[in-house]
Amino acid sequence: MRLAYLDCFSGISGDMFLGALLDAGVPAALLEETVAALNLGAKLEISRVTRDGIAATKVDVYTHGEKDLPREVFWEQKSRSPNAPQSAHSHSHSSSHAHAHGHSHETGVSAIAHPHPTDAHTHSHARGLTEIRQIINAANIPAAAKATAIRIFENLGAAEAEVHNCRIEDVHFHEVGAVDALVDIVCAAVGAEALAIDQWICSPLNVGAGTVKCTHGTLPIPAPATLKLLKDAPVYSSGPQVELVTPTGAAIVKALASRFASFPPMRVSASGYGAGSRDFPDHPNVLRITVGEAIQRPANAPSVESLATSHIPGGDNDLPTDTITVLEANLDDLSPQILAYAIDRLFTEGALDVFSVPVQMKKNRAGALLIVLAKPEDADRLTKIIFAETTTLGVRRRDEQRRILTRRWETVETEWGPVRIKIANLNGTVSNYAPEFEDCRRIAAERHVPLKQVMESAIRKFNADTSNSQ
């Protein structure tokens, strides 16, 4: 199994990821061709720099000849010259609605977005997800990379929509910010595809510290959208008082990484360093990618996993595992309607799975065994919900290990709209896949199409895209 490990000891942003990909062996010509295929008037500037003595590759995006500025640099310049022209990353708008900006890393990457109201007020310079999908799908790049890039943008849009309490369809990216983000994200997807990685693994992420200025004022780091994207990821704060993980970087990790762990056992074949814009003292401002083949961990080696996910060595059958908590309760005097409601609420509150099994209780009463699978950190909260919503007087609890297949999401475009496909891998080979039921159900209801027809269309499109990319 071919592995890639992301060392995010100085965070991650889109341009740092591109620099690390190039340094690890992705041809520069491939990314330059990808930028040209987008037909957005952008280009890359690739250079070699050092960060606290570490050599790394630096990538800058130029849009119509203008280089992106880090936000900290912009605010310093603005404070010195209040009447100076604003950079592309802090736009002045006279309209009254709120703007949700993807916050620029100190490296200068941003995905500037705002929730776009559904009334007649519009911006000619704003790009929504529909237009962004069209631009990506029209580009001459591999189908798998298109799907990854769209998924990263959807991650960004979903985070902004949640932060600003709007629909994902109402999230729009400012024209210049969208160009920068499109270049970073599409090149990231193409470069990641070129490395032919079976499993991406990520370290805990150093998010930085301090505050960041944006249109909404001064906010603590991590910025709101970044924090949404880092849900369930292990994070910490160390080093300089700046933003180290950007929304774009967090969205890339969310789309690619199958798990978070310490450095995995591998036979190293390549490594690369991507540079941030600033050079901090006593803190190499770089992102490292290490590529190699998975190997079996020695039997006497101590555990290196400090997170909820772990690793079971086994050569070619090397599979990740995680720890889950199993909650059980016997129910013999509960209305089926109330049980159905309790199951729905447990799912809503974060249970991994909930199901009931018919059982025969004492005195030959018909009953049900309620079983809840949960993350260990959610177990206490879900136990309280079981007590509140059912008639049980006791909940059994135990922790169990489970082997899991690595999973990822791809998005296909059906004739009625996008549908996510969940793909499971076993030793680098696709073992099964299925369309996301909620996506298909929503389309079926909105477009008045039979549900089975939507699901069949999504599967056909996925198979066709997979065949074309091979």
pLDDT digit string (tens) for 43-85? Answer: 999 999 999 999 999 999 888 766 655 433 333 333 344 444 3
Tens-place pLDDT, residues 372-388: 999 888 899 999 999 99
Identify the pLDDT of residue 397.
94
* Digit-coded pLDDT (tens) for 263-275: 889 999 999 999 9
Which residues is 217 bridged to in the sheet? 214
Is pLDDT larger for residue 457 or for residue 70? 457
User: Mind listing the pLDDT tens digit for each residue in 395-408?
Assistant: 999 999 888 777 78
Q: pTM of the entire structure?
A: 0.57
**What are the residue ranges spanned by the domains of the chain?**
2-294, 321-403, 406-469
Q: Is the pLDDT of residue 455 over 70?
A: yes
Of 60-74, 85-99, 119-133, the one with minimum mean pLDDT is 85-99
pLDDT reading at 139 higher than 70: yes
Could you tell me which residue, 247 or 178, shows the higher pLDDT? 247
CATH code given to domain 321-403: 3.30.70.1380
Query: Are the folds of 321-403 and 406-469 the same?
Result: no
Count CB neighbours of 196 within 10 A: 10
Give the pLDDT confidence of 284-338 residue by residue, as tens digits: 999 999 999 988 655 444 443 333 334 433 434 456 677 899 999 999 889 999 9
pLDDT of residue 250: 94
392: its two tokens: 């049980």
CA 258 to chain centre: 10
Whole-number pLDDT of residue 64: 72
Averaged pLDDT of the chain: 81
Phi, psi of 377 (to 5 degrees): -70, -15
Tell me, what amino acid is at 315?
A: G
Give the distance from CA 304 to its chain's centroid. 24
| pLDDT at residue 282, as a whole number | 84
CA distance 135 to 128: 11
pLDDT band at residue 148, thresholds of 50, 70 and 90?
A: very high
Determine the pLDDT at residue 427. 64
195 compared with 365, residue with greater pLDDT: 195
Cβ(361)–Cβ(330) under 8 Å? yes
Residue-level pLDDT at 218 = 84
Share of the chain above pLDDT 70, in %: 79
Q: What is the DSSP letter of 406?
A: E
CB atoms within 10 A of CB 246: 34
Using one digit for the tens of pLDDT, what is the confidence trace for 343-353? 999 998 889 99
Give the three-class secondary structure for 224. Answer: helix
pLDDT 10s digits, 416-437: 999 999 888 776 677 788 999 9
* Residue 121: pLDDT over 60: no
Residue 354: pLDDT band (50, 70, 90) is very high
Tokens 């036979």, residue located? 267
Decide: 273 and 23 in contact? Cβ < 8 Å. yes
pLDDT in tens, 194-249: 999 989 999 999 999 888 776 667 889 888 889 999 998 999 988 888 999 999 99
pLDDT at 175 > cutoff 60: no
User: For residue 279, what are the CA distances in angstroms to 54, 57, 128, 242?
Assistant: 10, 13, 35, 12
Q: What was the pLDDT predicted at 112?
A: 43
pLDDT at 11 over 90: yes
* Residue 262 in this model has a pLDDT that exceeds 90: no
- In CATH, what class is 406-469? alpha beta
